[in-house]
């Protein structure tokens, strides 16, 4: 212990805080006023989320309810025939609903075991080294734009299915489901992994201390405890699959038929999202067909909302029962384990043998996921890298994109993303600050949160439709850069709100108290004490949103993008080229442009992956700082 | 008591929702002395402490009746400025809570939010405050390193320095040593005694030896009531209430 230090200096005499009239009375009136104004402003911004949801619903319903008037709700929902272009147009959405259900169901059958296996692998089995490879790999899988998946599915997967199963065409239900499975895997895996690794340590230790093997512990203690989280993960993955447009549209064949027999996985199908993606571009405004498409969007929205709502109920229930009785779970597990031990003849295999088998299967599922990523990356990198030339990166497209470059598309994507961020960042951060810092749990904040959840679960094609109906037509922006920027901005808004909220929540309340105890106002506390350490988390969210906005096709397809433009846009009112849309059109409509397609896919992939890597790096650095 | 009073409560009652946490508390905190509040967990001593600088305002479900006077002015008066009150009545928390800033910026935070801008003035305040909290010798060569790199005891002294920097008249301490080891605790206790030359200190503690060692006055609380309040020597040597005696002799608690 150190010796007595210099006696504390009495300091009554700085005189710096002796402002005139600083009694207890109203010296801080101005600060309080600022504080109150900021609070009101933030509330105003936070209400924006509710307003947006309201507008989306109003615009979908406004145009969608017409079809119910024209065909009758029953005919629309269960009509067997979707044929808007025929001489006798028919608007029965039933085959589309069936298509969506079938594609999603098979995708989940593939994705769920692989995802849970991968989640258990990373959370329980993998060493730190392996984990540091598998986790980012799964996240990268989430980062690949859906149009790149579609491109890959069309040129490789569909072809493989055609040859391997000797089918006339590979564009099928199966192809769509496999692609959707790969796309849903990252969602399911990461949420399920969170659930598994949040099982408290004492559960595991309690079980292991009873002599259970690691596998018995996982099977009897860890997974049952994480079950509701895993359930939520599956449903969230399902929501992702149902709302997906581009990839599905490119590989399912898009015939609006119900497979016959219903188990014919090689039959082409058409989903709700695919229908919107294909037909919205060429429909006459205000026609029956137009109304029918909005009706389809309403069905889609209702389905995804129901699915996401179910996930939320499960998560809430999970949180409500989060304080469990470990002893009860443990005694149950213990009795199961001792029971197994006392009946050696009833056992199929020695615990160690079954552990080995189980771990093999689990590792295998992780390997399959890694392999999927590897194949996609390999295919696109190997074929795409060759297409990259100076002209390709800096020139304008010629001959319908078969020659020349993609510079206008790169620039267009850049402008779209920048504008989307300019819209979403201020709104998102302000909303999150209001939600976390300014209010307790009131009906109003619950409303705002529900609206954010709703936006989060809304399929991107529905944003596209809303942008088209509201911005392009109603506000008369036309197909323009600004319409695309706003649409993309709305789409990434919930992500930014969520990540900012999380980041703010991770700042301990004791820091806020420390600041208040020094006489700081709420706004001073937020600006100087809460926001700075929350910044890396907010930044990560923003970067992830950039990746998402850069790769999305559906929201800009009808609002901002054109296929060919030799020049860069000179104002916000002009349409632009964009990388994902360019890739989509090249792949689906321009024969003989495969080099250019690979090149475009490569550039898009590189761009998005670089953005995701940046996010991962920011988070890593941030985590290291936190440990210190 | 013939000491001059700086903080006073009259018939103070506080509820958290339905929970009646403080019952009819009337206490006079003498100026420039160390007052300790002791009592078993949940007796309301921390709640009472947080009333003095209106930190309970931050808890939505809390409700108050009665009066709290600071230098004779009611702190809940409609015109009272809660921020000025917290400036004059500082607080040190149970767990050290330095901001994620440098040592220097932690101490300069308070003066900055209250409008001090010149670098020179800030430098001086930081130095004086760190000296006042007996941290200057250890910290003077690393002022711009992150505060979180300090040890737990140093962090707590930094938090004390941080509250000294806004020139409070009263420093409230909520079990300031409960997260510290014995050596760091001894340093803080030492510091508390010296602070009392210029400040009024109110300390909540679980540790009766600490109350006996470091305080001039002691209040014993039980189930939301102030059972007894007197000179520390009186409380520990000749308590007036049987309940107090039972507690300080360790029969319950």
**How far is C-alpha B204 from the chain's CA centre?**
7
- Which residues, numbered 24 to 53 in chain B, qualify as contacts with chain A under a Cβ-Cβ cut-off of 8 Å? 53
B82 at A interface, C-beta within 8 A: yes
Residue A518: helix, strand or coil by DSSP? coil
CB contact under 8 A, A23 and B159: no
The residues with which A110 forms a beta bridge, in sequence order, are none
Q: Is the N-terminal amide bond of A261 cis, ω within 30° of 0?
A: yes
Interchain CB distance below 8 Å, A517 and B91: yes
- A9 vs B84, B111, B132: nearest CB: B132
Cβ atoms of residues A197 and A223 within 8 Å: no
Tell me the three state secondary structure of residue A260. coil
Q: Is the pLDDT of residue A77 over 60?
A: yes
pLDDT band at A33 (very low <50, low <70, confident <90, very high): confident
Q: Which residue, among A519, A529, A534, A626, would best test binding to B if mutated, counting the most B CBs under 10 Å from its CB?
A: A519
Crossing angle, helix A29-71 and helix A443-457, to 10 degrees? 50
Query: Cα separation of B175 and B93, whole Å?
Result: 7
List of chain A residues whose C-beta atoms are within 8 Å of the C-beta of residue B60: 440
Q: Which residue of chain A is at minimal alpha-carbon distance from B111?
A: A17
Contact present, B9 and B68 (Cβ < 8 Å): yes
What's phi and psi for A351, nearest 5 deg? Answer: -50, -35
Q: Give, in order, the Cα–Cα distances in Å from A558 to each of A267, A413, A473, B44.
A: 29, 15, 11, 63
pLDDT of A3 > 80? The answer is: no
- Find chain B residues with C-beta within 8 A of A517's C-beta: 53, 55, 86, 90-91, 93, 163
Domain B5-98+167-248 top-level CATH class: alpha beta
Q: To the nearest whole angstrom, how far is the Cα of A511 from the nearest Cα of chain B?
A: 6
Q: Looking at this predicted complex, what is its ipTM?
A: 0.89
Query: Is A6 in Cβ contact with B136 (below 8 Å)?
Result: yes
> Predicted confidence band at A87 (pLDDT cuts at 50, 70, 90)?
confident
| Residue B108 at interface with chain A, using a CB cutoff of 8 Å | no
Q: What is the percentage of chain B residues whose pLDDT exceeds 90?
A: 77
User: 0.90 cut: is pTM over it?
Assistant: no
Contacts of A521 in chain B (CB under 8 A): 83, 113
The answer to whether the CB of A199 falls within 8 A of the CB of A225 is yes
pLDDT of amino acid A425:
94
Domain boundaries, chain B: 5-98+167-248
- Percent of chain B past pLDDT 70, that is, above it, reads 99
Per the model's pLDDT, the better-predicted residue between A439 and A272 turns out to be A272
Segment B63-82, tens digit of pLDDT = 999 999 999 889 988 778 88
Comparing CB atoms, the residue among B81, B90, B137 nearest residue A25 is: B81
Q: Is B197 on the interface with A (CB under 8 A)?
A: yes
């Amino acid at each position: 212990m150190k010796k007595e230090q210099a006696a504390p200096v009495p300091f009554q005499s700085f005189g710096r805080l002796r402002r005139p009239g600083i009694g207890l009375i109203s010296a801080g009136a101005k600060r309080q006023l600022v504080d109150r104004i900021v609070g009101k402003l933030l509330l105003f911004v936070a209400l924006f989320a509710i307003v947006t949801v309201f507008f989306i619903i109003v615009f979908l319903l406004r145009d969608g309810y017409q079809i119910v008037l024209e065909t009758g709700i029953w005919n629309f929902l269960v009509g067997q025939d979707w044929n808007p272009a025929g001489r006798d147009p028919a608007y029965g959405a039933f085959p589309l609903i069936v298509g969506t259900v079938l594609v999603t169901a098979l995708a989940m059958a593939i994705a769920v075991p692989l995802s849970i296996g991968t989640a258990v692998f990373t959370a329980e089995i993998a060493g730190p080294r392996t984990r540091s490879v598998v986790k980012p790999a799964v996240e990268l899988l989430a980062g690949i734009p859906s149009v790149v998946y579609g491109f890959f599915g069309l040129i490789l997967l569909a072809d493989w299915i055609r040859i391997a199963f000797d089918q006339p065409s590979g564009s099928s239900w199966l192809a769509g489901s496999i692609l959707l499975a790969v796309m849903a895997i990252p969602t399911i895996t990461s949420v399920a992994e969170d659930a598994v690794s949040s099982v408290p340590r004492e559960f595991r230790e309690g079980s292991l201390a009873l002599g259970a093997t690691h596998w018995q512990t996982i099977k009897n203690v860890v997974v049952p405890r994480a079950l509701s989280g895993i359930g939520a993960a599956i449903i969230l993955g399902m929501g992702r699959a149902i709302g997906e447009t581009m990839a599905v549209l490119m590989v399912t064949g898009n015939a609006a038929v119900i497979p016959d027999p219903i188990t014919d996985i090689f039959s082409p199908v058409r989903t709700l999202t695919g229908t919107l993606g294909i037909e919205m571009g060429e429909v006459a405004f205000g026609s029956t067909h137009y109304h029918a498409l909005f009706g389809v969007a309403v069905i889609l929205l209702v389905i995804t909302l129901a699915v996401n709502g179910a996930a939320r109920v499960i998560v809430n229930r999970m949180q409500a029962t989060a304080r469990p009785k470990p002893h009860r779970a443990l005694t149950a597990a213990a009795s199961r384990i001792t029971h197994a031990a006392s009946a050696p003849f009833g056992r199929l295999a020695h615990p160690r043998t079954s552990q080995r088998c189980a771990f093999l299967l689990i590792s295998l599922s992780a390997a399959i996921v890694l392999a999927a990523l590897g194949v996609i990356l390999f295919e696109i990198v190997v074929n795409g890298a060759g297409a990259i030339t100076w002209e390709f990166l800096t020139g304008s497209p010629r001959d319908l994109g078969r020659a020349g470059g993609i510079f206008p598309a790169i620039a267009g994507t850049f402008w779209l993303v920048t504008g989307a961020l300019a819209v979403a960042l201020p709104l998102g951060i302000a909303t999150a600050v209001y939600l976390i810092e300014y209010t307790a749990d009131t009906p109003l904040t619950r409303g705002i949160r529900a609206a954010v959840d709703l936006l989060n679960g809304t399929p991107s094609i529905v944003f596209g439709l809303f942008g088209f109906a509201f911005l392009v037509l109603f506000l008369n922006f036309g197909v323009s850069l600004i319409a695309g920027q706003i649409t993309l901005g709305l789409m990434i808004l919930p992500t930014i709100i969520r990540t900012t909220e999380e980041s703010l929540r991770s700042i301990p309340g004791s820091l806020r108290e420390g600041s208040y105890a020094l006489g700081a106002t709420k706004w001073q506390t937020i600006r100087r004490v809460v926001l700075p350490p929350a910044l890396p988390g907010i930044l990560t969210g923003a970067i992830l949103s950039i990746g998402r906005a850069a790769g999305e096709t559906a929201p800009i397809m009808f609002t901002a993008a054109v296929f060919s433009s030799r020049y860069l846009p000179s104002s916000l009112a002009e349409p632009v080229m964009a990388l994902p849309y360019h890739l989509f059109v090249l792949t689906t409509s321009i024969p003989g442009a495969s080099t250019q397609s690979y090149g475009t896919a490569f550039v898009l992939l590189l761009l998005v992956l670089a953005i995701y890597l940046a996010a991962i790096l920011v988070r890593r650095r941030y985590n290291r700082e936190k440990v210190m | 008591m013939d000491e001059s009073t700086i903080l006073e409560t009259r018939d103070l009652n506080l509820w958290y929702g339905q929970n009646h946490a403080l019952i009819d508390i009337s206490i006079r905190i003498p100026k420039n002395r160390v007052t300790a509040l002791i009592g078993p967990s949940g007796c309301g001593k921390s709640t009472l402490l947080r009333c003095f600088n209106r930190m309970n305002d931050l808890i939505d479900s809390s409700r108050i009746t009665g009066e709290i006077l600071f230098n004779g002015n009611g702190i809940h008066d409609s015109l009272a400025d809660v921020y000025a009150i917290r400036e004059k009545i500082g607080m040190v928390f149970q767990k050290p809570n330095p901001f994620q800033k440098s040592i220097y910026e932690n101490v300069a935070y308070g003066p900055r939010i209250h409008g001090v801008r010149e670098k020179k003035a800030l430098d001086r305040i930081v130095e004086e405050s760190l000296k006042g909290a007996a941290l200057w010798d250890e910290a003077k060569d690393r002022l711009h390193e992150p505060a979180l790199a300090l040890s737990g005891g140093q962090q707590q002294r930094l938090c004390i320095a941080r509250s000294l920097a806004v020139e409070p008249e009263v420093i409230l301490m909520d079990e300031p040593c409960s997260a510290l080891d014995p050596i760091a605790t001894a340093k803080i206790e030492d510091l508390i005694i010296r602070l009392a030359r210029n400040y009024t200190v109110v300390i909540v503690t679980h540790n009766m030896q600490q109350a006996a060692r470091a305080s001039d006055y002691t209040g014993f609380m039980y189930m939301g009531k102030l059972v007894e309040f007197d000179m520390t020597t009186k409380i520990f040597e000749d308590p007036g209430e049987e309940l107090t005696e039972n507690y300080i002799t360790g029969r319950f608690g």
